[in-house]
Each structure stands twice: as structure tokens, then as C-alpha cells.
Amino acid sequence: MSKETTKYDLVVIGGGPAGYAAAIKAGQLGKKVACVEMERAGGTCLNWGCIPSKALLKSAELYQNMLHSEDFGFTTSEITIDFPKVMKRSRNVADQMAKGIEFLFKKNKVDYVKGKARIDKGNKVVVFEGTDKGKSLQADKILVATGCKARMIPGVEHDGDRIMTSRDALAMTEQPKSIVIIGAGAIGAEFAYFLNSLGTKVTLVEMLPKILPVEDADSSDAVARAFKKQGIDCRTDTKVEDIKATKTKVTMTLTKGSKSEKVEAEKVLVAIGVQANTEGLLGEGVSFDLDRNYIKTNDNYETSVKGVYAAGDIIGPPWLAHVATYEAIQAVRGMFSDHKPEKVTLFPGCTYCQPQVASIGKTEQKLKEEKVDYKVGKFPFTASGKAVAAAHSEGYVKVLVDSKYGEILGAHIVGSDATELIAEYGLAMKVEATAEEIHDTIHAHPTLSEALMEASAAVYGEAIHI
Amino acid sequence: MSKETTKYDLVVIGGGPAGYAAAIKAGQLGKKVACVEMERAGGTCLNWGCIPSKALLKSAELYQNMLHSEDFGFTTSEITIDFPKVMKRSRNVADQMAKGIEFLFKKNKVDYVKGKARIDKGNKVVVFEGTDKGKSLQADKILVATGCKARMIPGVEHDGDRIMTSRDALAMTEQPKSIVIIGAGAIGAEFAYFLNSLGTKVTLVEMLPKILPVEDADSSDAVARAFKKQGIDCRTDTKVEDIKATKTKVTMTLTKGSKSEKVEAEKVLVAIGVQANTEGLLGEGVSFDLDRNYIKTNDNYETSVKGVYAAGDIIGPPWLAHVATYEAIQAVRGMFSDHKPEKVTLFPGCTYCQPQVASIGKTEQKLKEEKVDYKVGKFPFTASGKAVAAAHSEGYVKVLVDSKYGEILGAHIVGSDATELIAEYGLAMKVEATAEEIHDTIHAHPTLSEALMEASAAVYGEAIHI
């Protein structure tokens, strides 16, 4: 590809779960497509988010299992943690997956352009920074999938060492002796579990009344209890102020109600949310309608600029990789076929600490707020033979069902395999299967998935094992 | 309860997955019910099958993970195996679950009668052996759920020590140095994985051309490859003859085609199938129509004797706990309500070695045999970010779809979490969701369950990550 203007059916800006999926999809449809990525194919999710963090959690889980291996019939000496090796493995996993995306680009004839892109007037995409600086791409259609980056607390200086975002934390080379994690959403909870499991003193601070605040209150409570037992210091309803980093530590003030406490730690991880990546995106005379900095799109994922579409984190919440991918594919299908793109209303959410938390649909607190007439079915893993055999009997399956029609309104799972189990309820809600139909489906014994059947039965008082 | 005749709405004979579930269900329906069990509530599955074996497999998996812990950043000394402790844990798990069933009997007002039962004329159940010997129960309806026990090779003397069934193997107190396992179905494969993982020299012998012979041929081949890599000596198309036990070993001849080989091992495990438990069941003048020793039932699970029903392994294949439970509950609902009982046509099958194997519906070889016009979607776990992050990238998801209507005809999963993942396809087939609907369902990222979505997409060449 020369540095002259090349013509494309689609230029995708951003190579994350929205961008790479869109580019591959367009390639599958036989379109001439380029994907411009300023760092590495796979985006934040694959390189600095979901994927490497799961590798770290795998190590943490193994370490915890090894600590308890005597219960399972094994004895060994003390276990030594090679923290750089733990981190290195997660980088290798990210590298391997990123190479996989680059392979898929080739396979699907996607031109992979390395650099930072700007949209100029007339649907022109110009690479203004990076390896392919100077390239100019003429696009019939453009998809903006630039995603988000971690948000910093206003007034706090992000130095990447003492005061970190999750991205910095994924690049740590030494295990901190202590850390304060600010924000107890999925990212905060996962790092809390990971670091605490390996022996770091963890304080997890949340401004709202519960950790994992978007989850069903039962899930939040169950994880809070588990975290406490694991030794994580959870501080809810707590504000953090006066964050100050020195060469050796960070000090700050935690305030709950009228009580303030000065605390210090080796590191601080700020995990309070994200902000849109729009820096440098718009050339002179180009502008989008925005909604709190996120790009506004219509039902076809088209922005206020004709021919320019957007999908993924950049169009706003819920900021989940799987939602981003879905949106991007819908957008592309809509661009190049008579497919009517769907907007996302139903999606699972997962937190991969132990016990894991997974959910889909509405929480019980939401149903109460909306004054919906609902029933609850709940089944604890203590009553599951598989869970007891595998020594993972923490947690439960909870399903919320419309009282009148048996429609599933939400499902919430806490437990070791929650993030996989939620898929069945996801399909059920998608195809509008009822709790009764799940109850009437033969589930393999012994599996944790039986708990989904039993919870569905419990809605009507028909569970066998409770 | 006195030793005189007591009247019941339902007397269940057998306290396994069929029997206990039937008794609990009848209790939930407000019926006066007794469950007669000659050993312990929970039956073979819970006491000497599915549940304790899963506890053993958990230990084996942990040991294997510990052996590779350096890859995950940990170093430790050599690991010592306390085999009696491994076994003891599995007994404890079984005990705990059996107590759970006893608790559920109390909760649901089920009379738990301990002994061996005989059906006498006039729907009378007499306990002729065991703790409650002499009790006589007058039953409005009887459900026979006596299940099956391991079948021995004709002419081979089962001594329970050198020559074992799976039940004996679950009671071993010492780890054998070597074992020949005869029969490579689920039970044989699970014991092969378990013992080989802990260092026993395992020879797995199968008369048919492939191990796991009821599974899709791809699954059999994948596990055969994995087993070979793990060091299990798999012998297919092989007959075992001249089995002779001495005080210290067992010798036998393995014959494949024209080649015979004399082999010896410390133990032999016979896992070639099961036979019906009907010994002593029928009093004078009572007889059922049988089909190859299994009790024949009509569409309502009623036997040829009016008022006497049967469910579970005793009515024949597939001899699976979850099928037994389903049948028993259907039978009970049919007895006491206007519910029309369903017979089982669709059920998952699971093998819990590593990699696990799970399946539902038809195999590819079956579809070929039936000349069905089908399409295949396959997705390897090497392309799954979660699988790579968790270091479980062995295996794949395969779905078989009707070419014309997109109906799912079968699904076959090989991999570390296969037995849980199959549940989603199970629901899909139950509610007749299509592969396209699974593809169109947002699955959480990163999870292994995404592979089910991708395999469904692959049917139509629309998978993103391959």
C-alpha cells in the first residue's frame, strides 16, 4: 500500500473487539476494508484488559488451590511466587491472541494500518501518527471504534507507577506489598482478588453502598462476604481524597460518613470507570453529535455525519467487549446488506474474581423499583453434588421470573463457574424460553448447570435438591 | 412406623437418582410416600458413582496443575500423594451428599425404609433383608427404581481386590502401580485419567474400534490423542481373555486381530457395562414383561403389572443419572396429576476425564448412516482467548445442523469445561432454537461459551475468530 490515497469500502478506526470484528466481518462480506490501530490489533480488551487479566486470575486461582492442596491429598513445600513470571505469562497470552487477530486480518484480506487516524472532510481517513503516518484512506464508509480509556480522578496525577490505571497494573513487574484499589466494579474486584490471593494487602474502596454496584444486591453481598473472608479490606460508602504519591508510597484520606482515616499503601489502582477516546479523531470541519462525550448514533449505528458509523465503547455504556463486537457486526451488516441492525438491550455481565459473578437482565432491586410482579428461584451450590465434589460450593443461582407469564427477567449467578453458566440463561432470554422450559430440560448430572434447572424449578417450589 | 402393614400412596423401591427424586416429588405433591433402599440414600450415583468419582477427578486435575505450576509462576518441592487421603475425601463428599438426601426425605415427609424389598401380590412391598426387615408396606402405587450394577465378564471371578468393578475401585485404599481397565466408556475413561494422572501405569482396553465408542468419532479421536500424550496405553479393537488373578497380580491376554500379547498388572478394573438389579424383587406370582432383563414400561412408565411403575436404569439404556431422575419425576407426575408423562429422547452425555467430553443429540456418524443432509460448525479452543488465558486450549465445539431448517441435530464438545458448556445446546435443542439464534445471542467475553456461538456461526462460514 503506498502512502497515496487508497479507496476502501470501509475504513475502521480502532482494532479492538468492535473494530477488529467489524473489519473481519466486512472482509467476510467481500468488501475492501482497512483497520487503523494505533497500538496493536485486539485493542484494550485483548492487550490490556479482559484477556491478560484472565491469565493473571488463572495463576491466582492455581496458587489458592495449591495452598489448599492438602485437603485434596497432596503435600508439598512452601510455594514460591515468581511475580514477574506470573505477569510475563499474561503478556505472552495477550501476544499470542494479538497475533491471532493479525492472522485473521490477513485471512480476511483486511489491510492493517498502524497509526493514529483522523477523519477529514469527505470521508477521508488520515494517519497522522505512528508507523503508517501520512497514509490517506478514502472511505466509502467509516466505522469509528476507538473505544475508551481509564478515567483518572480529577486532580490526581497519574504517574503510571504509584498511581496506576488497570493498564499500568497489567504491566507491573514487582508485586506490591500493599495496594488501595479505588472503585469496586469488575476491574477493581478482579485486581483485588488477584493481588490479595498472592499475598498483597488489598484495600478495596467504593463510593457507593455496595461493591460491584451494578450487580444484583445479593451478588454484591455474597462477594463482599467472600472477600472479607479472603482478607480483602472492603470499604464501601467511602470517599478517597488527598491522594499523594511519594517515591515509596501513596497516602490518602478515606472518608465514610463523618469518619476520616489516613491510609497509605505502596500503590494505588484507580478503577473508577472510563472515558471516550476521541483525541485527535476529528479533522477540521468534522464534528459528531455527542452525548456526554460519547458518539451518538442512530438505529443503524450511523453518526450525525453521513457515512460515518460508530460502535463499541465509544458510543457509551455498557462498555463491554462482547457488546462492542455485537454492535460492530450489526453496523457492518447494516452497511452492506439489507439486514436491519439491532441495538443491544440484553447482554451478560461478568466479574472473574472468585467466587465469580455473572448476570443478565434485570436485578431484583431494579424490578422492585419498576414495581414488576416477579418471583424468585434460588439454588445454592452447597446442594450441588458437582460443586461439593469440586470443592466449589460457594455461591448460588438466582433467577427472576415474571409472575404472570414465566418470562425470565434476570438471572444472577455467584460461584466458581458463573461466567460460563450464565450463557444458558442468556440464550433462554434471547429466545424467550421460560423458567419452566429450563426446568424441563434434562441437564447432565453431575454438573453445576443443574443449578440453573433447579433454580428455575425453585421459582415454583419444585426444586428437588433443596 | 411399626412392623405392621402401613398404607402408602406410593412406595418407591430404590433410593438412587430415580428413586429418591420420585419420593421427594411425591412428597412435594402431598402424597404419603416411602422409599426403600437397601444401602444408602443416593444410590450408586451418589455413593459409588458420579459423585465420588468427581471428587477423585478434582484431585487428579489439581495434581496435574501443580505439576505444571511453574508455567504459572510458582515453584515448589516435589509433591507427595497421600492416596488414602485422596480416596477419603471422595468418601466424605459422598457421605455429605447422602446425608443431604436423608435430610430432603425428612423435609418432604418421605418414610425412609432401610432394607431389600420384594413386591408381593396385591401391591404389597415386603422388606425381606436389612435394618427394617419384616416391614410390610401396602402401596397404592409402586415405583421400581432399583437401578443397575456393574456387569462382570462371563467366566471371570470378581474378587473385589485384584479384579474390580468401579465400585471396588472407589474403595481402593492403596494406589495401584499398574492397572488394566477393560472398557473405554465414560467410567473406564474417567478412571484411566484419574489413575494415570497420579502416576499409575494405565492400559485402557476397548473391544470396539474407538474409545468412548458412543461419542462422535471426532471426540473419541481427540481424547485418544490426549490420552496417548498423557501416557495412557490405549488399546482399541482389542479383546481380553484368560484373565487370571494371583495374590500379587493379574495376568491376561490382549488380542488385536491376529496378534496376541500376554500382559500383567497389579489390578484389573472391569467397566464393560451394567446389568439390571432385579434379584429378589418379585414375590411369588408376580412378574413383569422384560426386555433383555430390563423392565418394560408403557408411555406412562407403568409396567405390565397394574399400579407398578418403573423408571431409571432398570428400564434400560442410556443408564444415566439425569435421565433416571427425569423419568422418575415424569412417572410420579403422571401418577398423581393429569400430567402426561414424557419419555426421554434428548439427553446430554458427559465424560469427566481431561479433556472432558460432552454431547447431546446425534453424532456425525449417525447422521451419515441416516443419510441426513447436515452442516457442521466447528470452533477450536485454541482460538478462544479465555481458553488460552486459562491454559485449557485443548478441544473444540462442534455442532451439527440440519441443512434446510438450521435445526440443531447434535452437539459435541471436547475441552476442560465441556460438561458445563453442553447445557446451552441442551436448552437450544429442547426449545428448538436454531444455530442462527445461538450465533445471534451475545455471549460474555472472554468465556469458553463464546465457542458455542462461534461454532454456530461457523456452520454458515460466519465465525469471527477462525
The predicted pLDDT at position A380 comes to 98
Q: Give CA separation, A306 vs A27, A288, A320, A324, B409, in Å.
A: 22, 10, 26, 21, 44
Return the C-alpha cell found at B256.
488385536
Cα gap A407→B41, rounded to integer Å: 35
The predicted pLDDT at position A375 comes to 98
Instruction: Mark whether B445 is an active-site residue.
Output: yes
Q: Please answer whether residues B93 and B55 qualify as being in contact, where contact means their C-beta atoms are separated by less than 8 angstroms.
A: yes
Residue B17 pLDDT > 90: yes
Dihedral (CA of B224, B225, B231, B233) sign: positive
Superfamily per CATH, domain B355-458: FAD/NAD-linked reductase, C-terminal dimerisation domain (3.30.390.30)
Cα gap B419→B427, rounded to integer Å: 14
Return the C-alpha cell found at A459.
421459582
Return the C-alpha cell found at A262.
489516613
Question: Given CB atoms, is B420 within the 8 Å cutoff of chain A?
Answer: yes
Residues of chain B positioned with their CB less than 8 A from the CB of A443? 322, 348, 423, 426
Q: At A206, which amino acid appears?
A: E
Residue of B nearest to A343 (CA): B442
Residue A1 pLDDT > 70: no
Q: Which residue has the cell 486435575?
A: B61
Confidence tier at A77 by pLDDT (50, 70, 90): confident
pLDDT digits (tens, 9 = 90+) for A258-284: 999 999 999 999 999 999 999 999 999
pLDDT digits (tens, 9 = 90+) for A21-33: 999 999 999 999 9
- Among A438, A414, A436, smallest CA distance to A425 is for A438
pLDDT digits (tens, 9 = 90+) for B42-71: 999 999 999 999 999 999 999 999 999 999
B124-130: list long-range contacts, CB under 8 Å, 24+ apart: B124/B5, B124/B283, B125/B11, B125/B13, B125/B34, B125/B36, B126/B283, B127/B36, B128/B280, B129/B38, B129/B280, B130/B38
Q: Give CA separation, A389 vs A57, A64, A114, A133, B197, in Å.
A: 22, 17, 50, 57, 18
The residues that bridge with A117 in the sheet, in sequence order, are A127
**A33-37 and A5-13: which strand pairing?**
parallel
Confidence tier at B3 by pLDDT (50, 70, 90): low
Out of 3.40.190.10, 3.40.50.300, 3.50.50.60, 1.10.10.10, the CATH code matching A5-148+275-336 is 3.50.50.60
- Among A425, A391, A401, A397, smallest CA distance to A413 is for A397
Q: What is the DSSP string of A218-230?
A: HHHHHHHHHHHHH
Options B68, B158, B322, B445, the catalytic residue: B445
- What architecture is domain A163-272? 3-Layer(bba) Sandwich (3.50)
Give the CB-side neighbour count of residue B295, counting CA atoms within 13 A: 30
Residue A446 pLDDT > 70: yes
The predicted pLDDT at position B371 comes to 98
What H or E segment, with its residue span, contains residue B136?
A: strand B136-144
Question: Given CB atoms, is A45 within the 8 Å cutoff of chain B?
Answer: yes
Of B74, B325, B448, the CB nearest to A445: B325
Return the C-alpha cell found at B381.
479452543
Question: Given CB atoms, is B91 within the 8 Å cutoff of chain A?
Answer: no
Cα gap B350→B313, rounded to integer Å: 16
Dihedral (CA of B196, B55, B15, B31) sign: negative
Produce one character per residue of A114-125: b if its CB has 16 or more CB atoms within 10 Å, e if not: bbbbbbbeebbb
In chain A, CATH 3.50.50.60 covers 5-148+275-336, 163-272
The predicted pLDDT at position A424 comes to 98
The residues that bridge with A180 in the sheet, in sequence order, are A203, A268
Of A72, A75, A417, the CB nearest to B62: A72
A47 burial via Cβ count (<10 Å: 0-12, 13-18, 19+): buried
Confidence tier at B359 by pLDDT (50, 70, 90): very high
- Among A148, A41, A156, A159, smallest CA distance to A100 is for A41
The predicted pLDDT at position A3 comes to 54
Confidence tier at A5 by pLDDT (50, 70, 90): confident
CB contact under 8 A, A445 and B321: yes
Residue B296 pLDDT > 50: yes
Question: Given CB atoms, is A449 within the 8 Å cutoff of chain B?
Answer: yes
In chain A, CATH 3.30.390.30 covers 355-458
The predicted pLDDT at position B1 comes to 45
The predicted pLDDT at position B5 comes to 78
A180 burial via Cβ count (<10 Å: 0-12, 13-18, 19+): buried
Cα gap B100→A380, rounded to integer Å: 13
Dihedral (CA of A428, A430, A434, A435) sign: positive
Judged by phi (left if over 0) then psi (alpha if -120 to 50, else beta), residue A48 lies in alpha
What H or E segment, with its residue span, contains residue B43?
A: helix B43-48
Out of 3.40.190.10, 3.30.460.10, 3.40.50.2300, 3.50.50.60, the CATH code matching B5-149+275-336 is 3.50.50.60
Question: Given CB atoms, is B449 within the 8 Å cutoff of chain A?
Answer: yes
Residue of B nearest to A465 (CA): B104
Cα gap A460→A21, rounded to integer Å: 42
Average pLDDT for residues A320-347, to the nearest whole number? 97
ipTM over the 0.95 cut-off: yes
Q: Please answer whether residues B61 and B194 qualify as being in contact, where contact means their C-beta atoms are separated by less than 8 angstroms.
A: no
Average pLDDT for residues B354-363, to the nearest whole number? 98
Give the CB-side neighbour count of residue A442, counting CA atoms within 13 A: 26
Q: What are phi and psi of B141, to 5 degrees?
A: -135, 150
CB contact under 8 A, B391 and A58: yes
Q: Please answer whether residues A236 and A184 qualify as being in contact, where contact means their C-beta atoms are separated by less than 8 angstroms.
A: yes
Residue B4 pLDDT > 90: no
User: Testing the interface with B: which of A12, A45, A62, A417 to mutate, by most B Cβ within 10 A?
Assistant: A62
Residue A250 pLDDT > 70: yes
Residue A12 pLDDT > 70: yes
Return the C-alpha cell found at A27.
472482509
Q: Please answer whether residues B432 and A432 qualify as being in contact, where contact means their C-beta atoms are separated by less than 8 angstroms.
A: no
pLDDT digits (tens, 9 = 90+) for A101-140: 999 999 999 999 999 999 999 999 999 999 999 999 999 9
CB contact under 8 A, B74 and A52: no
Return the C-alpha cell found at A41.
490489533
B297 burial via Cβ count (<10 Å: 0-12, 13-18, 19+): buried
Residue A2 pLDDT > 50: no
Q: Please answer whether residues A235 and A256 qualify as being in contact, where contact means their C-beta atoms are separated by less than 8 angstroms.
A: yes
Q: What's the CA dihedral at B376, B382, B388, B390 to 10 degrees?
A: 50
